[in-house]
Structure 1
Amino acid sequence: MDKKNFETDAIRTQLERSQFQEHSTPLYVTSGFVFEDAEDMRASFTEEKSRNIYSRFSNPNITEFVEKVVKMESAEDGYAFATGMAAIFSTFAALLNSGDHIVSARSVFGSTHTLFTKYFPKWNIETSYFDINNPKEIESLIKPSTKILYAESPTNPGVDIIDLELLGNIAKKHNLLLIIDNCFATPYIQQPIKFGADLVVHSATKLMDGQGRVLGGIVVGKAELVREIYLFSRNTGPSLSPFNAWVLSKSLETLAVRVEKHCENALKVAEFLENHSKISNVKYPFLPSHPQYITAKKQMKLGGNIIAVEIKGGIEAGKKFLNAIKMCSLSANLGDTKTIVTHPASTTHSKLAVEDQLAVGITPGLVRISIGLESISDIIQDLDQALNV
Structure 2
Amino acid sequence: MEQTTRAIHMGFPSLEDSHAAAIAMTSAYDFTSAQEASDRFNGVAEGNIYSRFTNPSVEHFEQKLASLEHADAAVAFASGMAAYLALAITFLKQGDHVLLASGIFGTTTHLFRQYFGQFGITATCVDLDDPHAWQEAIQLNTRMILVESPTNPLLKVADLAGLSRLAKHHDALLVVDNTLLSPVNQRPLAHGADLVLHSTGKFIDGQGRTVGGVIAGRKAMIQPLKGYLRSSGTCMNAFTAWVLSHGLDTLKARMTLHEQNARTVAAWLREQPCVQQVFATFSEDHPQAAVIARQQCGHSPVLSFVVDGGQDAAWRCIDALQLVSRCTNIGDTKSMVTHPASTTHCRYSPEEKAQYGICDGLVRICVGLEASEDIIADLQQALAASQKKQSPQQPQQSSAKGQLNQEVAWQS
- With normalisation by structure 1, the TM-score equals 0.94
What's the counterpart of residue 276 of structure 2? Answer: 280
Q: Shift of residue 133 of structure 1? A: 3.3
Question: Deviation digits for residues 1-50 of structure 1, max 9, x if unmatched?
Answer: xxxxxxxxxxxxxxxxx653212110111111111110010001011111
Give the counterpart letter for 1:77 in structure 2: A
After superposition, residues 153-168 of structure 1 pair within 5 angstroms as 153-168=149-164
Aligned counterpart, 1:134: 130
Counterpart of 1:10?
none
Within-5 A mapping of 1:100-139: 100-139=96-135
Matching of residue 71 in structure 1 with residue 74 in structure 2: no
Deviations 1:100-155 (A, max 9, x none): 11112112111101012101111100112211232222122222211111110010
Give the conservation status (yes or no) of the 8 Å contact 2:182–2:204.
yes
Q: Which residue of 2 aligns with 1:88?
A: 84
Q: How does 1:333-344 map to 2 (within 5 A)?
A: 333-344=329-340
Q: Would the aligned equivalents of 1:267 and 1:303 in 2 still touch at CA under 8 Å?
A: no
Whole-Å separation in 2 of the counterparts to 1:56 and 1:247: 18
Give the fraction of aligned pairs with identical amino acids, expressed as a percent: 38
**DSSP-derived class of the 2:37 partner:** helix
What displacement does 1:60 show? 0.6
Task: Indicate which of 36, 40, 43 corresponds to 1:44.
Answer: 40
Do structure 1's residue 188 and structure 2's residue 197 form an aligned pair? no
Aligned partner of 1:237 in structure 2 is: 233
Question: Which ranges of 4 or more aligned residues in structure 1 deviate by more than 6 Å?
Answer: none
**1:173 deviation in Å?**
2.2
Match of 1:266 in 2: 262
Following the alignment from structure 1 to structure 2, what is the Cα–Cα distance between the partners of residues 261 and 34? 45
Cα distance in 2 for partners of 1:95, 1:20 equals 40
CA contact (8 A) 2:94 2:120 kept: yes
Q: 1:320 aligns with which of 316, 325, 329?
A: 316
CA apart distance, 1:263 = 0.6
2:97–2:123 contact (8 Å) kept in structure 1: yes
Contact 1:328 1:379 in 2 (8 A): yes
Q: Pick from 353, 358, 380: which aligns with 1:357?
A: 353
Q: Deviations over 1:278-304 (max 9, x none)?
A: 100001000112222222222111221
Choose which of 213, 216, 238 in structure 2 pairs with 1:217: 213
Structure 2: distance between partners of 1:292 and 1:268: 21
Aligned residues: 372
Tell me the equivalent position of 2:367. 371
SS at structure 1 position matched to 2:146? strand
In the alignment, the residues of structure 2 paired with residue 93 and residue 355 of structure 1 have an alpha-carbon distance, to the nearest angstrom, of 30
1-structure distance, mates of 2:123, 2:259? 34
Residue aligned with 1:351, SS? coil
Q: Distance in 2 between matches of 1:289 and 1:283?
A: 10
Structure 1, residues 146-180: CA drift from partner, whole Å, max 9, x if none? 11111100101211111111111212222221100
**Is residue 2:198 matched to residue 1:202?**
yes
SS at match of 1:388: helix
| Contact in 2 for aligned 1:271/1:287 (Cα 8 Å) | no
From 306, 314, 326, the counterpart of 2:302: 306
What amino acid is aligned across from residue 274 of structure 1 in structure 2? Answer: R
Aligned equivalents of 1:347, 1:143: Cα separation in 2: 32
Contact 1:182/1:200 (<8 A) preserved: yes
Distance 1:80 1:288 in 2: 36
Which protein is bigger by CA-based radius of gyration?
2
- Residues 63-91 of structure 1 show CA distances to partners (whole Å, capped at 9, x for unaligned) of 01000111111111110001111111111
Name the amino acid aligned to 1:220. A
Equivalent runs, 1:247-258 vs 2, <5 Å: 247-258=243-254
2: CA distance between counterparts of 1:117 and 1:299? 29
1 CA distance for matches of 2:315 and 2:54?
Answer: 45
Uncovered stretches (5+) of structure 2, i.e. residues with no partner: 1-13, 386-412
**Inter-partner Cα distance in structure 1 for 2:341 and 2:15:** 53
CA contact (8 A) 2:258 2:367 kept: yes
Work out the CA distance in 1 between the residues paired with 2:15 and 2:330: 39
For 2:235 and 2:269, locate their aligned partners in 1 and report how far apart those are by CA, in whole Å.
41
Cα offset, 1:217, TM superposition: 0.5
The equivalent residue for 2:53 is 57
Over aligned residue pairs, what C-alpha RMSD do you find?
Answer: 1.1
